[in-house]
């Protein structure tokens, strides 16, 4: 079930909210149980069989948490259970997400003819698997174990962040699961945040997706320089508003139920280095890899640069692989490894000089990286990039001009909103003024109605991160 669907907006969400604040208001445990089963229903709506996979993940990680807590003063035994936890969780992820890819590559390299299983990918498996691992690792590190399996289930399965994040760390919500407090201010701010996210997804991401798809689905041998750049920029904006919009909706939904999730995006396209970009983009994933992989390996506080390079290589290969079973994602991760290693070794990201030039360099590689991300295979990615730099010999074509003319307003709004310009203007000149507050409410209501109109009309409504 998509957040940006009429089923969710007018049936699932209103019913869950009404029951949560009326029938289930009597006790926190009743509310948690209700949210857990509502989350299972949300997940089962589109993928009923895969609920069993998630339930298995919840049960096993609950057991692993108890086992590690039992032997917390016997570190050697606790480490064994931690190792088993990693093998179990990554094993499930490998089977569903990477097994077919590995067998295909073994067949291609060796000439063998092993059977390649066609395994459907459970929605959100990368996200809820990392959350489950976060819980057990945090228990190993000293966080209080959760004795109630339903609370562990709620943490892993809670529907706002279940299928697309943000990846919520157990330590950030452990207290909220049992002691959160719902307020009218939080609820209203959650509704506003949800509408903003819905508008970003439906009005901007979905519209820009049409331009991006037109470019990436065209014949790379004939696409013009202008059209290839238009498509790449459209996809750069689409993936930002698609994913950050979904994160906004998740954060807003969490607040409606009294949960406060950490931010997942912080205007990444204003970055003046690749290092800064990854502090601002998909913050929860970057934080997860930093705290559970990079720091345990030694991070940047190592004696030899060779070890620093190895640590970065491991993290970014895993980041690329996490996003998908395709060589394009591995190459995408490797590209960021090279760029981040260069910045670490030269301290370029700490320089205060030529900020505008570093901003151009950052955006250039981010856009090229999204081409890798979007392409079906490496050959198509390089062919598309070649077209961007004049490989086809054609500078501009009528289709590029038509699509730019038809969507120029969306491009302008998307570029402005991807910066903190409007936010800064609001806080500097308009915050606290009653007229402006009323106007904001009116604008949000209009955005919601227009978004719903698009959905009712059956407008194009993909979601990129469902693939991961």
| CB-based contacts of 385, cutoff 8 Å, min separation 6 | 368, 371
**299 exposed, middle or buried (CB, 10 Å; 0-12, 13-18, 19+)?**
middle
Compute CA distances 446 → 238, 244, 439, 441, whole Å: 22, 20, 11, 9
Compute CA distances 121 → 99, 156, 278, whole Å: 11, 18, 27
CA distance 69 to 254: 28
CA distance 329 to 373: 6
Token pair for residue 168? 């919520």
Q: 180's torsion region: left (phi>0), alpha (psi -120 to 50) or beta? A: beta
Whether the ω angle into residue 166 lies within 30 degrees of 0, i.e. cis, is yes
Verify whether residue 323 is a known catalytic residue: yes
- Given the residues 282, 323, 359, 429, select the one marked as catalytic: 323
| CB-based contacts of 300, cutoff 8 Å, min separation 6 | 308, 311, 344
Active site (catalytic) residues: 323
């Amino acid at each position: 079930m998509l957040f940006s669907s009429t089923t969710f907006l007018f049936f699932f969400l209103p019913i869950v909210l009404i029951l949560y604040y009326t029938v289930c208001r009597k006790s926190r445990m009743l509310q948690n149980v209700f949210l857990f089963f509502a989350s299972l229903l949300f997940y089962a709506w589109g993928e009923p069989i895969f609920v069993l996979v998630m339930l298995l993940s919840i049960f096993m990680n609950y057991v692993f948490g108890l086992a590690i807590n039992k032997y917390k003063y016997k570190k050697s035994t606790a480490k064994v259970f931690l190792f088993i936890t990693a093998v179990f969780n990554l094993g499930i992820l490998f089977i569903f997400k990477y097994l077919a890819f590995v067998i295909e590559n073994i067949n291609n390299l060796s000439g063998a003819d092993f059977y390649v299983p066609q395994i459907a990918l459970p929605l959100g498996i990368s996200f809820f698997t990392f959350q489950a691992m976060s819980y057990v690792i945090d228990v190993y590190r000293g966080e209080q174990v959760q004795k109630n399996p339903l609370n562990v289930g709620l943490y892993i399965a809670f529907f706002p962040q279940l299928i697309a994040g943000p990846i919520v760390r157990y330590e950030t919500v452990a207290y909220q699961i049992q002691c959160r407090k719902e307020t009218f201010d939080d609820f209203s701010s959650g509704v506003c945040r949800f509408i903003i996210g819905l508008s970003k997804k439906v009005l901007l991401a979905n519209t820009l997706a049409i331009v991006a798809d037109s470019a990436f689905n065209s014949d790379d041998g004939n696409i013009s320089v202008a059209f290839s750049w238009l498509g790449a920029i459209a996809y750069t904006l689409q993936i930002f508003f698609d994913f950050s919009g979904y994160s906004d909706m998740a954060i807003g939904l969490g607040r409606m139920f009294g949960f406060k999730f950490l931010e997942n995006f912080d205007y990444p396209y204003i970055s003046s280095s690749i290092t800064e970009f990854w502090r601002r983009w998909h913050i929860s994933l970057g934080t997860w890899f930093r705290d559970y992989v990079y720091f345990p390996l030694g991070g940047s506080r190592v004696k030899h640069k060779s070890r620093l390079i190895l640590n970065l290589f491991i993290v970014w290969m895993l980041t690329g692989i996490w996003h998908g079973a395709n060589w394009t994602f591995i190459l995408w991760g490797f590209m960021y490894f090279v760029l981040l290693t260069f910045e670490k070794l030269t301290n370029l990201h700490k320089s205060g000089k030529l900020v505008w030039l570093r901003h151009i360099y950052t955006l250039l590689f981010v856009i090229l990286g999204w081409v890798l991300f979007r392409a079906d295979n490496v050959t198509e990615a390089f062919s598309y990039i070649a077209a961007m730099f004049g490989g086809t010999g054609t500078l501009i074509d009528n289709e590029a001009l038509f699509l730019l003319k038809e969507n120029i307003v969306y491009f302008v709004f998307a570029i402005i909103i991807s910066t903190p310009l409007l936010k800064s203007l609001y806080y500097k000149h308009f915050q606290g003024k009653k007229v402006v507050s009323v106007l904001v409410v009116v604008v949000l209501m209009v955005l919601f109605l227009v978004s719903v109109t698009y959905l009712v009309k059956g407008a194009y409504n993909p979601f990129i991160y469902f693939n991961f």
